[in-house]
Amino acid sequence: MKFVSPKIDYAFKKIFGSQQSQDILISFLNAIIYGGEKVIKSLTIVNPYNPGQLLSLKDTYLDVKAVLVDGSIVVIEMQVARMAGFNKRVAYNLAKAYANQLETGEDYLLLNPAIAVTITDFILFDKSEDVIN
């Protein structure tokens, strides 16, 4: 039997972004975010298309986007090749996912946390205490 590398976009999305593999995604996020504690019990995998709210804003497509039971948004990206500006793309996608939570007139208190889980085949941040590298 031949296996497909999870680094390949299609395989990554099948493993972590399909309704059938929710348990795998929950286990993965609990391991990465919460050090293995079973904090996340369930989640909803949502459409990874992140449109710009204005016509002039760039549309983006995420690998996987999920909403946890507490309303937190998790944006998951897999990147094999180092690209100029990738770290800025991660920040942009996360900020956009965070900002897109509110409709006109809604209170800022309704905003939920947004978490970026970025898996790379290279070191994204040389040194930082605030990231798992």
What confidence tens digit (pLDDT) does each residue in 11-51 have? Answer: 888 888 988 989 999 999 999 999 988 999 988 888 776 66
Q: What is the pTM of this model?
A: 0.81
Among 70-74, 111-115, 125-129, whose mean pLDDT is lowest?
Answer: 125-129
Contact yes or no for 117/74 (Cβ under 8 A): yes
Pairing of strands 114-120, 73-79: parallel
